[in-house]
Amino acid sequence: VVGDIDRGGVFASFFGTLALLDAADQALLAGFIVNKFRGSLDLLAPGLRTLEQLTGRPVLGTLPFDLDLWLDAEDSLAYGRVLGRPAAPRGEHWLRVAVVRLPRVSNATDAEALAVEPGVAVRFTAEPAEVAAADLVVVPGSKSTVADLAWLRETGLADAIGAHAAAGRPVLGICGGYQMLARSIRDDVESRAGEVTGLGLLDVDVEFAPDKVLGRPVGTALDTEVRGYEIHHGRISRIGRQLTPFVGDDGVSSGSVFGTHWHGAFESDEFRRRFLRLAADLAGRDGFEPAPDTEFAAVRQATVDRLGDLVEEHLDTEALWRLIEQGPPAGLPLLAPGATQ
């Protein structure tokens, strides 16, 4: 079991997780790893010894907190207010990106490809004032489009996003976020709310269907190749004639507002650069210059390599390999109440 000590309560989580498992599952839990530790290991050592004594299982290592190490993570768990540590801009201006922190956010990793660009500061926020101050506003995917749309209205974020677009500043909706920008949403599948009025920033209508659209499409947008993936119930049932095609068969743009169902599009480096250049121009950030040499795949691989180095340095890798090859040792002690189940 790996526990995040940076969030607090890791010892209670370790012990409680083990104790609540039934006997068969407790027999499979062979050790613990502490993740994201800051400070002196000498101060942590007494707690680790106590955990080992109480559970009869070893702590196989402690991984240090590394601010430069950020990887794809479960939705909402890994996102603080600022994503990563943005590198200095290549040009005169920064580009400030506000990603709306939806309560039911989905596939929030779309923002990571933006955050690797020098001079791009990505902030997750639920504050209308921060949306108003941003250069680019991103409404990300959602596990419940209609519920998160209602939340946007309750918090004043819907008005802030609308004012941002009305001022000619860029707004991007991705998947569920795109659906929220629509004129109307018909949902008899997820929320069963029937027809709901969208934000009306794009002249499209959305209708939810029982079958989910799945795919790894390849296409062209902004005169360059784009790759992504799709996973959504909502379909665009009507597209206004005055709209401009954007990413995907049903992606569109109108003035400074853009919508696409594709996740992962910004991992296509040239498309990301061109979109950021366009967004900067719309926001009046003429001094922003996208970096011509940023490769998202290389950045991600370097991050994985860095994590591998930390694992080799700070964990008992021999013990981990034994567990992988041989399984948990026999005779591990069982804890109540799970041991009685």
Give residue-wise pLDDT tens across range 205-236. Answer: 999 999 999 999 999 999 999 999 999 999 99
* Residue 266 and residue 176 in one domain: yes
Q: What's the pLDDT tens digit per position in 149-187?
A: 999 999 999 999 999 999 999 999 999 999 999 999 999
C-alpha 224/C-alpha 143 separation (Å) is 30
Q: What is the mean pLDDT of residues 11-20?
A: 96
Please report, to the nearest 10 degrees, the dihedral formed by the alpha carbons of residues 125, 130, 131, 133 taken in order.
-150
- Would 164 be classed as within a structural domain? yes
Residue-range definition of the domain harbouring residue 8 = 2-69+303-340
* Residue 132 and residue 188 in one domain: yes
User: Between the CA of residue 206 and those of 42, 238, 245, 307, 316, what are the distances in Å?
Assistant: 57, 7, 16, 41, 52
Are 254 and 243 a contacting pair, CB within 8 Å?
Answer: yes
* Residue 190 and residue 317 in one domain: no
At residue 41, the 3 state secondary structure works out as helix
CA atoms within 13 A on the CB side of 50: 10
Examine the pLDDT at 78 and tell me if it is beyond 60.
Answer: no
Q: How far is CA 144 from the centre of its chain?
A: 16
Q: How far apart are the first and last CA of the chain?
A: 21
Q: Identify the pLDDT of residue 339.
A: 66
Q: Identify the pLDDT of residue 341.
A: 57
Q: Identify the pLDDT of residue 20.
A: 94
* Residue 221 and residue 317 in one domain: no
State the pLDDT confidence band at 82, using cuts at 50, 70 and 90.
low
> What is the pairing mode between strands 59-64 and 120-125?
unpaired
Examine the pLDDT at 53 and tell me if it is beyond 80.
Answer: yes
Are 146 and 185 a contacting pair, CB within 8 Å?
Answer: yes
- Would 84 be classed as within a structural domain? no
Examine the pLDDT at 73 and tell me if it is beyond 70.
Answer: no
Instruction: State both tokens at 291.
Output: 């970096």
Q: Identify the pLDDT of residue 89.
A: 81
Q: Identify the pLDDT of residue 220.
A: 96
- Would 83 be classed as within a structural domain? no
Q: How far is CA 224 from the centre of its chain?
A: 25
C-alpha 19/C-alpha 340 separation (Å) is 10
* Residue 208 and residue 258 in one domain: yes
Examine the pLDDT at 148 and tell me if it is beyond 80.
Answer: yes
- Kindly report the average pLDDT of the chain as a whole number: 93
Examine the pLDDT at 80 and tell me if it is beyond 90.
Answer: no
Residue tagged active-site, from 164, 175, 233, 261: 175
* Residue 214 and residue 127 in one domain: yes
Give the chain's domain count.
2
Are 146 and 190 a contacting pair, CB within 8 Å?
Answer: yes
* Residue 15 and residue 133 in one domain: no
State the pLDDT confidence band at 310, using cuts at 50, 70 and 90.
very high
What is the share, in percent, of the chain residues with pLDDT greater than 70? 95
* Residue 230 and residue 265 in one domain: yes
Q: What's the pLDDT tens digit per position in 25-43?
A: 999 999 999 999 998 999 9
- Would 81 be classed as within a structural domain? no
What is the share, in percent, of the chain residues with pLDDT greater than 90? 83
Examine the pLDDT at 274 and tell me if it is beyond 70.
Answer: yes
CA atoms within 13 A on the CB side of 213: 20
* Residue 143 and residue 253 in one domain: yes
Residue tagged active-site, from 93, 232, 263, 314: 263
Active site residue 263: yes
Q: What is the mean pLDDT of residues 53-69?
A: 92
Q: Identify the pLDDT of residue 70.
A: 73
- Would 9 be classed as within a structural domain? yes
> What is the pairing mode between strands 136-139 and 95-100?
parallel
CATH of the domain at 114: 3.40.50.880
User: Between the CA of residue 203 and those of 232, 269, 296, what are the distances in Å?
Assistant: 20, 29, 32
- Residue bearing tokens 């559970």: 55
* Residue 283 and residue 168 in one domain: yes
- Would 87 be classed as within a structural domain? no
* Residue 175 and residue 52 in one domain: no
* Residue 263 and residue 121 in one domain: yes
Are 147 and 179 a contacting pair, CB within 8 Å?
Answer: no
State the pLDDT confidence band at 191, using cuts at 50, 70 and 90.
confident
- Would 79 be classed as within a structural domain? no
State the pLDDT confidence band at 74, using cuts at 50, 70 and 90.
low
**CA atoms 38, 41, 45, 46: torsion sign:** negative
- Would 271 be classed as within a structural domain? yes
